[in-house]
Amino acid sequence: MSISLNEVKRIASLARIAVSDVEAEAARAQLDGIFGLIEEMQAVDAGDIEPMSHAQEIVLRLRNDAVTEVDQHEAFQKGAPEVEAGLYLVPQVIE
Amino acid sequence: MQWEVVIGLEVHAQLSTESKIFSGASTAFGAAPNAQACAVDIALPGVLPVLNRGAVECAIKFGLAVGAKVNRRSVFSRKNYFYPDLPKGYQISQFDLPVVSGGELVIFVDGAEKMVRLTRAHLEEDAGKSLHEDFHGKTGIDLNRAGTPLLEIVSEPDMRSSLEAVAYAKELHSLVRYLDICDGNMQEGSFRCDANVSVRRPGAPLGTRREIKNLNSFRFLQQAIEYEIQWQIDTLESGGKIHQATVLFDSDKGETRAMRSKEEAHDYRYFPDPDLLPLEISGEWMAEVRSRLPELPQAKRARYISAFGLSAYDAGVLTSSKELAAYFEEVAEIYPEPKACANWVMGEISGWLNKAGIDIHDCPISSRALAGLLIRIGDGTISGKIAKEVFEAMWNGEGGADDVIESRGFKQISDTGALEKIVDEIIEGNPSQVADYRAGRDKLFAFFVGQAMKATKGQANPAQLSEILKKKLAG
Amino acid sequence: MFNSSLKELSALLSGRKTSSVELTQEFLKRIDAKNPELNAFITVDHDKSLAQARAADTLISAGKAQPLTGIPFAQKDIFCAKDWITTCGSRMLSNFVSPYDAHVIERFNAAGAVNLGKTNMDEFAMGSSNETSHYGPVRNPWDKKAVPGGSSGGSAAAVAARMAPAATGTDTGGSIRQPAALCGISGIKPTYGLVSRYGMIAFASSLDQGGPMAKSAEDLAWMLNLMVGFDARDSTSLDRPFEDYSRDLDLPLAGLRIGIPSEYFAQGLSSDVERVVLEAIRFYEKLGATVVDVSLPNTKLSIPVYYVLAPAEASSNLSRYDGVRYGYRSPEYSDLTEMYENSRAEGFGAEVKRRIMVGTYVLSHGYYDAYYIQAQKLRRLIARDFSESFEKCDVIMGPTSPSTAFDIGEKGDDPVQMYLSDIYTIAVNLAGLPGMSIPAGFGANGRPIGLQIIGNYFSEAKMLNVAHQYQKSTDWHRQMPSI
């Protein structure tokens, strides 16, 4: 298969990664190579084998409903790019 | 030409757990910004989710209550998208295998019953909040709400009017509060509705729907749907086309408008969350939850009709909230005249609560106190008319029924001797009226009752008084 | 002292032949001397390390020492350590001072061990050569032109160059075993779920597993005793009774059945690796083991399966790096989308971006079933190959890597060539099995070669026994680069 430049740009946009045209072209060639490798998988008829999501066949362990965390927002916000009045600031969001 | 309206609702109910769905941070409302956003909630590198048993239990309760299938095995998936109030860049939700499938809810519209089918209910985490107040043209992000457990309850497109949609939303609201799985506080966003609205010609395939997001009051739900219906009909009738869209309701303007940020095509790239294994709910757990399930509105309604002999309407009003029903039952427990109890709860109590704008749990007259008042009416101590005055005094904190009757001297005169003496005086003082009455002017009877009431300051036992008057006037 | 085993260091400390402060200072001195040429560490902090060493000495004098108290360990920079910059090899986290400890770090701290520094690694553990690190490539102590392997290349180089007695690593597709092989040390990736992933920065959650890297199997056993344990904060952490991983070290190997998969000796394997591995297996026969043929027919599929599943999980795991709450934010943006796109374009390196894009693609609408679901189905086939093989043998042996360490820059920017070098290690991660690598010889170029030992689930003690018996009779693991 071959990935188009537009597809590369669509994926980059979905993944929120800026790509220039030159970068997109380079990425296209490399992704083509990677998908060439991945395509080998398609030759196998896996039929109705159950997909394997986890290495262990165990079920989810649950925690009891209890508050165990304390306010640490000052420590957490020490390295934040932009904070004001305890809030993380980002460029204006338009709904 | 006629249009048929098709509405389905998606309700996000915040579950009343102490801690978040995947972390041990508190879910209490109103904390300082980010004070309740722990390492997991702000998605620090390396942190992992652990599911809250309490949230699962809420989902089981709901599933059992609506007669749905509580799935023995369900799976958490990641819904991937970027948004500043979504710290991980994905929301943990359920996609292919939700915890609850199917179910139904009976609603009442204009006295008629209607069944609304549920598609599913699934567990997921809430996002944080974007605060658009002016931070120098920037948006502030508060992640206290991030990770609050939500049960997303999705209905089939079974509703045909805004009234049905509101009735469904109210019924669901009442149910989650009965189950004690959601506090139902719509202002704080604990119960949020999204409405999928489309119109079509009767018999035609479904029209294109638009989704109205985040309606946080029943009134807005109704207004938004009505506006949207009219807008869609107008658009179609003027030859336009409806495009699938997500819209917001502007309650100031009473209009819906398309959301700008949601315009781009979504590709959420759902896949099973590798940090969480499949959730399994055992039959034992389900049975245990079922055994603790409270009586639900529908069953309660039926019981009020059959056991208490109430009308369907009265039963419906009294069971509309768990608290009101509990209040009523407490009154009726002490004073076993359900009809009288119902009249007072639906009449005086509801009326005064409404006027004061407060809820039943803030009612200044306890159920026990109201029962005390009803007992005094029943045993003839006071008349129904006086009782209303006593009620007002009780509301204003003057004490229980007996205290008010005592302090205000409201006690009804049921002493036959005393009443006979008063009647004798009236007969003696009004000879011409007595003569006229005896000559056949029956209407004058009311005059003698009035005189007697005046003389007793209204405290004469009416039945007794009437009997004595009849006997004495007969000569 | 640099060549001492953990057991020996423990004895020196408890016998007061040395102190933790002395020991830590010695290793810090060696790091200061060698790190400029090897670049094995991203962060070294004498004050923090020595403060821990002093606390350890206090414990020792108070008679409250545990076996590893006072011993310094290098920590892969993927483990969050409170107050330490934790970069995960990325520019994205170049300023990230962790406010909390990973479970593994907590375990070392609770044992009174000393954190000697944070080791270099491929960015977000994505790489097999350590060349994707934002902090520059690590050099192989055996030959500075060569890569140390990856992604735990800094840890492997640090142990090989004796800059640390031992180190931690993580293994998603071979990231402990392959650098261990390429640097001539021992490393084990335990059964998935034994070492908590809490605080271990995620690459591919269903495959990631932490483990020890050391000079010998015995040291690995000592470290596993510390690192393995249930953690309620990781939903995939297994709650099992404590086991002493050193308990079976001295058992004889008579009767051991070694499975040899023909697929691991096929095209692409370099001749000197093949020679060394076969020699090692012959040596095991001398120790009383018998060799049986087993088949892992889906081995070839493990590469495409892995390069669908790992990037898919990674693309989602790395979405949290958005420049909002911590980490790198680009100085150039005019709106929210640009802030995201520029921060991520500048904060991530080329390989990470490539894998995010592959992962985003395979999960996206219309491709999910063909790629992701298909890969998960094949993952089960790959796991079944192993369970069938383990009916016939106790351990499986083969090469860890198809060749000795390649030169820095040799694979250029051809990601596919790099991916193919993971052929012998990634199936183990897909199945969730334990796997280890021990030194077994050298190539013609003088670079080390590793023997891979794969065990059944929870058979770590047996694997360590198998490795230890070999190391008792051979000295490959004692060889040291001359730097």
How far apart, in Å, are the Cα atoms of C229 and each of C50, C213, C246? 27, 18, 15
Its sign, for the CA torsion B373, B377, B381, B385, is: positive
Pairing state of beta strands B210-215 and B191-200?
A: antiparallel
Distance of CA B193 to the CA centre of its chain: 15
In whole numbers, what is the pLDDT of chain C averaged over residues?
97
How high is the pLDDT of residue B263? 46
How far apart, in Å, are the Cα atoms of B7 and each of B16, B116, C465? 28, 11, 67
Q: Which residues numbered 408-447 in C keep a CB inside 8 Å of some CB on A?
A: 413-416, 419-420, 430-432
Output the domain CATH number for residue C192. Answer: 3.90.1300.10
Dist. CA B414–CA A91, nearest whole Å: 79
Task: Flag whether C200 is in a domain.
Answer: yes
Q: Which residues numbered 261-320 in C keep a CB inside 8 Å of some CB on A?
A: 300-301, 303-305, 307-308, 315, 319
Q: Check whether B338 has a pLDDT greater than 70.
A: yes
Chain C: give the shortest CA distance to residue A13, in Å: 8
Task: Flag whether A84 is in a domain.
Answer: no
Higher pLDDT, residue B377 or B415: B377
What's the CA angle centered on C343, arms C337 and C348, to 5 degrees? 130
Categorise residue C53: left if φ over 0, alpha if ψ from -120 to 50, beta otherwise. alpha
The count of structural domains within chain C is 1
Distance of CA B304 to the CA centre of its chain: 18
At B42, give phi and psi (nearest 5°): -90, 5
Judging contacts by C-beta atoms under 8 Å, the chain C residues touching residue A44 are: 301, 374, 378, 381
CB B160 within 8 Å of CB B168: no
B153 touching A (Cβ < 8 Å): no
Compute how many other C-beta atoms are within 10 angstroms of the C-beta atom of residue C55. Answer: 16
In whole numbers, what is the pLDDT of chain B averaged over residues?
92
Q: How much is the average pLDDT of B95-117?
A: 93
**In which residue are the tokens 């047996």 written?**
C462
Dist. CA B407–CA C419, nearest whole Å: 93
Structure tokens at C163: 């800059």
- Please name which of C40, C379, C323 lies closest in space to residue A52, comparing C-alpha atoms: C379
Contacts of C31 (CB under 8 A, 6+ apart): C40, C41, C44, C116, C117, C158, C163, C164
Task: Flag whether C119 is in a domain.
Answer: yes
For C2-50, the pLDDT digits (tens) are 899 999 999 999 999 999 999 999 999 999 999 999 999 999 999 999 9
Structure tokens at C218: 């015995």
- Please name which of A58, B278, B74 lies closest in space to residue C192, comparing C-alpha atoms: A58
CB contact under 8 A, B45 and C319: no
- N residues, chain A: 95
Half-sphere exposure for C369 (CA within 13 Å, toward CB): 5
How high is the pLDDT of residue A21? 92
Judging contacts by C-beta atoms under 8 Å, the chain A residues touching residue B31 are: 71
CB C372 within 8 Å of CB B96: no
Segment B365-371 long-range contacts (CB within 8 Å, at least 24 positions apart): B365/B391, B365/B394, B365/B395, B367/B327, B367/B328, B367/B330, B367/B331, B367/B334, B368/B330, B368/B334, B369/B394, B369/B400, B369/B401, B370/B331, B370/B341, B370/B344, B370/B345, B371/B330, B371/B331, B371/B333, B371/B334, B371/B335, B371/B341
Judging contacts by C-beta atoms under 8 Å, the chain C residues touching residue B53 are: none
**In which residue are the tokens 């998960």 written?**
C376
CB C104 within 8 Å of CB C168: yes
- Exposed, middle or buried by CB within 10 Å (0-12, 13-18, 19+), for C16? exposed
Q: Which residues numbered 40-79 in A keep a CB inside 8 Å of some CB on C?
A: 40-42, 44, 46-47, 49-56, 58, 60-61, 63, 72, 75-79
Its sign, for the CA torsion C115, C117, C121, C125, is: positive
Q: Quick one: pLDDT band at residue A95, thresholds 50, 70, 90?
A: low
Q: Is C293 helix (H, G, I), strand (E, B) or coil?
A: strand
Q: Could you tell me which chain A residue has the CA closest to the CA of C93?
A: A79
For B153-191, the pLDDT digits (tens) are 999 999 999 999 999 999 999 999 999 999 999 999 999
ipTM over 0.95: yes
Q: Is B249 helix (H, G, I), strand (E, B) or coil?
A: strand
Judging contacts by C-beta atoms under 8 Å, the chain B residues touching residue A12 are: none
CB B346 within 8 Å of CB B338: no
DSSP letter at C11? Answer: H
Q: Is the model's pTM score more than 0.80?
A: yes
* Residue A22: domain span: 5-43
Q: How much is the average pLDDT of A59-78?
A: 96
How high is the pLDDT of residue B264? 54
How high is the pLDDT of residue C1? 80
How high is the pLDDT of residue B382? 83
How far apart, in Å, are the Cα atoms of B222 and each of B116, B168, B185, B218? 17, 11, 18, 6
* Residue C204: domain span: 6-253
How high is the pLDDT of residue B102? 98
Task: Flag whether A27 is in a domain.
Answer: yes
Q: How much is the average pLDDT of C85-104?
A: 98
Task: Flag whether C192 is in a domain.
Answer: yes
How far apart, in Å, are the Cα atoms of C393 and each of C182, C260, C286? 27, 9, 17
Task: Flag whether C432 is in a domain.
Answer: no
- Best residue in C316, C326, C336, C360 for a mutation probing chain B (most B CBs within 10 Å): C316
For C394-438, the pLDDT digits (tens) are 999 999 999 999 999 998 778 888 898 999 999 999 999 999 999
Its sign, for the CA torsion B86, B224, B217, B171, is: negative
Task: Flag whether C228 is in a domain.
Answer: yes
How far apart, in Å, are the Cα atoms of A4 and each of A1, A26, A31, C35? 10, 12, 10, 44
How far apart, in Å, are the Cα atoms of B79 and each of B89, B90, B100, C44? 9, 5, 19, 39
Q: Which residues numbered 69-98 in C keep a CB inside 8 Å of some CB on A?
A: 95-97
Contact pairs from chain B to chain C, CB under 8 Å = 96
Helix B401-408, helix B367-378: angle, nearest 10: 50
Task: Flag whether C150 is in a domain.
Answer: yes
Domains of chain B: 4-288 (no CATH), 295-407 (no CATH), 416-473 (1.10.10.410)
CB B104 within 8 Å of CB B116: yes
How high is the pLDDT of residue C253? 97
A55 touching B (Cβ < 8 Å): no
Compute how many other C-beta atoms are within 10 angstroms of the C-beta atom of residue C135. Answer: 20
Q: Quick one: pLDDT band at residue B321, thresholds 50, 70, 90?
A: confident
The count of structural domains within chain A is 1
How far apart, in Å, are the Cα atoms of C230 and each of A28, B53, B196, C78? 43, 19, 46, 20
Q: How much is the average pLDDT of A62-67?
A: 98
For B46-66, the pLDDT digits (tens) are 999 999 999 999 999 999 999
Contacts of C164 (CB under 8 A, 6+ apart): C27, C31, C72, C73, C74, C116, C117, C155, C158
How far apart, in Å, are the Cα atoms of A88 and each of B93, B128, C336? 24, 11, 13
C323 touching A (Cβ < 8 Å): yes
Q: Check whether B409 has a pLDDT greater than 80.
A: no
Task: Flag whether C47 is in a domain.
Answer: yes
Dist. CA C327–CA C325, nearest whole Å: 7
Among B146-160, B182-196, B413-427, whose mean pLDDT is lowest? B413-427
Strand partners, C169: C211
For B361-394, the pLDDT digits (tens) are 899 999 999 999 999 888 878 888 888 989 999 9
- Exposed, middle or buried by CB within 10 Å (0-12, 13-18, 19+), for B218? middle
**In which residue are the tokens 């969050």 written?**
C80
Compute how many other C-beta atoms are within 10 angstroms of the C-beta atom of residue B374. Answer: 20
For C249-283, the pLDDT digits (tens) are 999 999 999 999 999 998 889 999 999 999 999 99
Dist. CA C45–CA C29, nearest whole Å: 12
Task: Flag whether A53 is in a domain.
Answer: no
Its sign, for the CA torsion C206, C210, C215, C217, is: negative
Q: Check whether B450 has a pLDDT greater than 90.
A: no
Task: Flag whether A25 is in a domain.
Answer: yes
Contacts of C231 (CB under 8 A, 6+ apart): C103, C196, C198, C237
Task: Flag whether C344 is in a domain.
Answer: no
Structure tokens at A74: 């000052």
Q: Is B8 helix (H, G, I), strand (E, B) or coil?
A: strand
CB contact under 8 A, A91 and C305: no
Task: Flag whether A65 is in a domain.
Answer: no
